[in-house]
Amino acid sequence: MSTGKQVLVVGAGTMGADLAFDLSAHGHSVILKDIHEDALVRAKKRMGELLRLVLLMDRARFGGAKLDAIMSRIRFTTSYEGLEDVHFVIENVVEDLAVKREVYTELGRLCREDTVFGVNTSCVSITTIGSFLPRPDRAIGMHLLNPVPLKRLVEVIVGHHTSAETVDRAKALLDSLGKEAVVVQDSPGFVTNRILMLTINEAAFVVHDRIAEPAQVDRIFTEGFSHKMGPLATGDLIGLDTILKSLIVLYESFKDPKFRPCPLLVRMVDAGLLGRKSGKGFFDYGKVP
């Protein structure tokens, strides 16, 4: 179903790699851009692991997927050259407003006037991101969930200037991936992380206060409430550094002490215990290559 148009994915971390894989597996031509060459190397390795996962978990949708074909539709690059055919951008860089400003200022200069900018952010205001672009009506939040190819729901966030056409184009792209959009309004944390970050942070406080061990906390949620994953394992999957940055954004945005990060969470991030990507967080995942 390739149309000749391209989707630019900015940021080749786990989320960016998964998204590029998903887009290519559904026939899109993709550019995966990162400032670090080693991130692109890790992204290529991740895609091989991801193919095995999706074939195991959802063979009905990915049964015909071949790694060589998927990789052939992805251009891995550290530069912003060759963006003239990009009709959609999905940005996945760190939750740092200064970094995002730099990225969108550059993209706004290089991309076509009709390019849509999907902001895959946990908490940053879509209206603020729009202010960095020549066309703020082209900015829209697209909060994807891990692992991207296996999650069908996407939280789509409408900024103050986001146009109806932009919403329609975002929904059409998601539809081409077999995903459904839940459209919400712009507010720090939106729906997902305004609630989820509080839950993970409070679970960390329970461990910090020595009320229960991490495994006990998560068992109550998985066995007691039938959640597929407990809050602390979820935090490890997302990345505890991302959790901490999101909480700081929420705290600064609302000035509400309920979003104050747990001291244990801060200490773990300072120690490099970031969750799955570092090999250890609230739980031990073994050595990470």
143 is catalytic: yes
Between CA 236 and CA 201 the distance in angstroms is 12
Catalytic-labelled residue, pool 24, 120, 122, 246: 122
Query: Any idea which residue has 């009506």 for tokens?
Result: 137
Catalytic-labelled residue, pool 26, 143, 201, 246: 143
The 8-class DSSP code of residue 276 comes to: G
Catalytic-labelled residue, pool 193, 201, 246, 278: 193
193 is catalytic: yes
Where b means 16+ CB within 10 Å and e means fewer, 97-130 reads: eeebeebbeebbeebeeebbbbbbbbbbbbbbbb
Is residue 173 a contact partner of residue 7, using CB atoms and an 8 Å limit? yes
Catalytic-labelled residue, pool 87, 155, 160, 227: 155
Between CA 44 and CA 24 the distance in angstroms is 13
92 is catalytic: no
The 8-class DSSP code of residue 278 comes to: G
155 is catalytic: yes
Residues with a known catalytic role: 122, 143, 155, 193
